[in-house]
Structures are given as structure tokens and as C-alpha cells.
Amino acid sequence: MKVAIIEDEKSIIDAINLAFEFRWPGASIVAATTGEDGIALVKRESPDIVILDINLPDINGFNVLKEIRNFSLVPVIILTVRSDDEDMLRGLETGADDYIVKPFNYLTLLARVKAVLRRSEKEQYKGNQSTTISQRLKIDFVNQKIKVDNRQVKLTPVEYRLLILLVKNRDKVVTYQRIMEDIWEKSTWQDTENIRIYIRRLRKKLHDSPPNMILNKHGSGYMFKS
């Protein structure tokens, strides 16, 4: 398992490296201290997961994430010094799989890395390579590609997992709690802002406005209408 760290503070890189060395000795660590080098690193090394700092000396970490998403669906955990929701929501909207606020516990970081990897590796659907879901939507489950009206649509890993969850349960309401548990492995669902963000993004990318594919069941959850 290869981990790419994009972080300008050497002390943090060293600490993360040490945490993996003691708790996950089979992991290989590669690192970059600038955004430009980080993008090149991900292209060159094809890591299994990326730990990305938002505050980099040359390029904003959000822009680094956008560049990575142009060529890779590798899971990304962002690091931020801000404890409010602004960076978290922006990171998730840009395509991050999780976020951690600095300063953080390194054992917690390892646990979050394992959780993100487990979600990304989980088999999402068993079926034919290409399946027509509805008159407008077709999904290639093997290559994880989406077509709407015969045009390919690019989704982030979390967006893809959310769509697959809804499709697998088409014509049934998927509750907020089920979505939080399956997508983010969180048992609480009182704050549904993350879900709403991703539903808005999915509807926009699927050209589902006004909604007739992904329907909101107020107070309960969402349903994919076949």
C-alpha cells in the first residue's frame, strides 16, 4: 500500500511517516512539499491514497485536488487548520473523501485512512459490465463510468458511491442514516448537509433538473426513480 503525502511542514510528514512505520509497517510513503510536486508525484507514483494539506506554499490545496481529480479517482483525505465547516464542505465538493482538522491525533488519522480505503475497495455492485439503469442513465460498473443521454459524466469517488447506493435500491427510499453509514461510515445523521451537497452535485451532473431521477423524500431520505 502506497501513501502520498502533500504537505509543506516536514515535521508533519515525519510524524505521519513514523505513525505508519509503527502501526502500518507494510505501507510505503512518498511525499511532496509543494502543490506542483504533489500533482506530479500522484501521476508518477499512482498511490493508493493521498493525504493533502490545504495550505501549500505555491498552489492552494483545493486546486491541487481539482488537478488530481482530472486524472485520478485515488482516495484523498484533506488536512485543514480550520475547525469550521467552510474548508470541509469545499473539500468534499471538490472531490475529497474525508477531512481532518489540524492538530490531529495520528492514530485517528490511520483509522480514517483505513476507513477510506475500505470504502473505496468495497464492491459496489455485481452485474454486467454495462447496464442501462433508465432511459437516460447507463453505468459501466466494471470501469466505473457513467453516461447520461449517451454522454459520459465524470463523478468523484464519493459521488459515484452515492449514486450506486441509490441505484442499487431504485424505487426505494434510502434513509439519511443508511447513506451516512454506507458512504461515510458514520452512525449519526442529524447533520445532513454533506448528503445535500452531494445530491445537488449529482443532480447537476446528471442534468436532473427539475428532479425526476433522484427524488427527495422529506424527513426520510432519497430515492432513485427508475
CATH code where residue 40 lies = 3.40.50.2300
pLDDT reported for residue 26: 86
Q: Side-chain half-sphere of 137: how many Cα atoms within 13 Å?
A: 21
Write down the mean pLDDT value for the chain: 85
Q: Are residues 28 and 108 in the same domain?
A: yes
Q: Are residues 104 and 136 in the same domain?
A: no
pLDDT reported for residue 85: 67
Q: Higher confidence at residue 157 or residue 51?
A: 51
Q: Are residues 64 and 42 in the same domain?
A: yes
* Radius of gyration of the CA atoms of the chain, in A: 18
Q: Are residues 54 and 36 in the same domain?
A: yes
Q: Higher confidence at residue 157 or residue 224?
A: 224
The three cell numbers of residue 23 are 502501526
SS3 label, residue 142: coil
pLDDT reported for residue 37: 97
CATH code where residue 207 lies = 1.10.10.10
Describe the crossing of helices 176-183 and 157-168 by its angle, rounded to 10 degrees: 130
Length of the chain: 226
pTM exceeds 0.75, yes or no: no
Q: Are residues 7 and 77 in the same domain?
A: yes
Which of residues 89, 121, 153 is at a domain's end?
Answer: 121
Q: Are residues 77 and 168 in the same domain?
A: no
Q: Which of 7, 14, 185, 15 is nearest to 106 (CA)?
A: 15
Q: Are residues 90 and 139 in the same domain?
A: no
Q: Is the per-residue pLDDT at 52 higher than 90?
A: yes
Confidence of residue 13 (pLDDT cuts 50, 70, 90): very high
Q: Are residues 100 and 188 in the same domain?
A: no
Contacts with 73 (C-beta within 8 Å, 6 or more apart), sequence order: 144, 156, 157, 160
Which of residues 121, 144, 169 is at a domain's end?
Answer: 121
Tens digits of residue pLDDT in 162-209: 998 898 888 899 998 888 888 877 655 556 777 888 899 899 999 998
Q: Are residues 71 and 94 in the same domain?
A: yes
pLDDT reported for residue 203: 93
Tally of domains in the chain: 2
3-state DSSP helix/strand/coil % of the chain, to nearest 5: 40, 20, 40
Confidence of residue 28 (pLDDT cuts 50, 70, 90): very high
Which of residues 74, 98, 121 is at a domain's end?
Answer: 121
Rounded Cα distance, 141 and 134, in Å: 15
Residue numbers of the domain that contains 140: 130-224
Specify which of 94-103, 124-133, 147-156, 186-195 reaches the highest per-range mean pLDDT: 147-156
Q: Higher confidence at residue 5 or residue 70?
A: 5
Rounded Cα distance, 225 and 128, in Å: 20
pLDDT reported for residue 127: 46
Q: Are residues 42 and 151 in the same domain?
A: no
Q: Is the per-residue pLDDT at 214 higher than 90?
A: yes
Amino acid at 177: Q
pLDDT reported for residue 62: 92
SS3 label, residue 164: helix
Q: Is the per-residue pLDDT at 125 higher than 50?
A: no
